């Protein structure tokens, strides 16, 4: 998956275990309808990918390519928790200017109320058509009464 956002925070690389290093950062993804509801996504780089963030500064618009990772974790008090992370494996500069950029990898269209077809007004029932009277000299007029 991909998404475009503004780099808000860069954290230092930390050694999570003897063989695992992680670096977290935060991007702001603009809400196209109302900037009061922008999303702030905490992302992570692992291993040798931690250095990918070095060439970017706070405020830069970046495009990240990532996977979602989810884990089940049992706390010491035996409560089960679920943890989700955005595992980034590529960072690029967007291929267009920020003014023309769609916000996020998805280009969300504004919500539009579905258009319901207007029911046509019922047409009045046509009066039954009476056949035209036959001319007086026609064979249809040979009835004896």
Of 30, 22, 25, 33, which is closest to residue 9 (Cα–Cα)? 25
Would you give the distance in Å from CA 120 to the centre of its chain?
A: 36
> Phi and psi for 58 in degrees, rounded to 5?
-55, 135
Cα-based distances in Å from 74 to 18, 65, 78: 22, 29, 6
User: For residue range 82-129, what is the model confidence (pLDDT) as tens digits?
Assistant: 999 999 999 999 986 545 545 544 444 454 555 666 566 666 666 666
- Do you know the residue count of the chain? 145
Report the distance separating Cα 104 and Cα 101, nearest Å. 9
This model's pTM is above 0.75:
no
Report the distance separating Cα 120 and Cα 108, nearest Å. 34
Judge whether residue 7 has pLDDT over 70. yes
């Amino acid at each position: 998956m991909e998404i475009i956002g503004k780099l808000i925070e860069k954290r230092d690389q930390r050694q999570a275990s003897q063989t695992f290093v992680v670096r977290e950062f935060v991007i702001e993804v603009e809400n196209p309808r109302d900037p009061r509801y922008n999303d702030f996504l905490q992302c992570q780089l692992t291993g040798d990918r931690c250095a990918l963030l070095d060439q970017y500064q706070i405020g830069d618009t970046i495009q990240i390519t990532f996977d979602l990772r989810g884990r089940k974790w049992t706390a010491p008090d035996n409560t089960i928790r679920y943890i989700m992370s955005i595992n980034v494996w590529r960072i690029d500069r967007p291929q267009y200017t920020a003014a023309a950029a769609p916000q996020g990898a998805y280009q969300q269209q504004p919500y539009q109320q579905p258009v319901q077809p207007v029911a046509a007004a019922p047409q009045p029932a046509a009066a039954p058509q009476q056949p035209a009277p036959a001319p007086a000299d026609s064979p249809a007029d040979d009835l004896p009464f």
